[in-house]
Amino acid sequence: MDVVFFTAWIQESVRVLSINRDLLTRLDAAIGDADHGTNLDRGFTSVRQAMEQTPQDTPGQLLTLVGTTLVRRVGGASGPLYGTLFRQLGKSFGDAGEVSLDDLATGLSAAIEAVKRLGKASEGDKTMVDALAPASRALSAAVQEGVKPDEALERAAVAAAEGAKATIPLQARKGRASYLGPRSVGHEDPGAASAALLVSALHP
């Protein structure tokens, strides 16, 4: 997987987040600030512009650019968290011109650990981690089984979507939603929903 593959992933992410902007904002309106979809749409639009203005030669350079742009352009907690995810993933790839599926699985695992440290969140806290962690496990398991990349990425996307839906009965323990206490139960976490969309963009 080279820079063309990862460019396609980010471009698909821009498209998917734009399409689902209002859905993410509605989810956030129930338990947050009602700006998650708008913030991410704006941030990834800026990412697309940055990619066009400053083309990158390697996957690592590209994803580092994506992360840095998100930190600068996305408000609230989402900017630093998603920025960390992409920058750590880019860092894990180093200067390699191409990366393997195993590299992606390893890098994603490290990136999620960085997000968990920054947000002080674990699975079950009703955050983006609840979608990202199952996706990472599914991808790593697929690599161990030796399945083809398309199937491995599809498994990751399915696991992320299931993880996001599984946040509905949870009570939030992190972020603004945690202030609602039991009232946060019954709502899908917007961060988990957007994370699932990003993982799905790996397998459009």
The reported pLDDT for the residue numbered 118 is 95
Please identify every stretch of the chain with a pLDDT value under 70, giving residue numbers as ranges.
Answer: 204
For the chain, domain boundaries: 3-200
Query: Within a 10 A sphere around the Cβ of 75, how many other Cβ atoms?
Result: 14
- Which one, of 89, 96, 124, lies nearest residue 3 by Cα? 96
Q: What is the predicted pLDDT for the residue at 76?
A: 78
- Please give the pLDDT value at position 183: 84
| pLDDT value of position 14 | 97
How far CA 31 is from CA of 26, 27, 172, in Å, comes to 9, 7, 9
d(CA 17, CA 197): 7
pLDDT of residue 74: 87
Task: Give tens-digit pLDDT for 30-73.
Answer: 988 889 999 999 999 999 999 999 999 999 999 999 999 999 98
Which CATH code fits 3-200? 1.25.40.340
Burial 178-187 (b: 16+ CB within 10 A, else e): eeeeeebeeb
Helix, strand, coil percent content, the chain, rounded in steps of 5:
75, 0, 25
Please tell me the predicted confidence (pLDDT) of residue 90: 97
DSSP result, 94-157: TT-SB--HHHHHHHHHHHHHHHHHHHT--TTSSSTHHHHHHHHHHHHHHHHHT--HHHHHHHHH
Tokens of 196: 């699932």
Res 181: pLDDT: 83
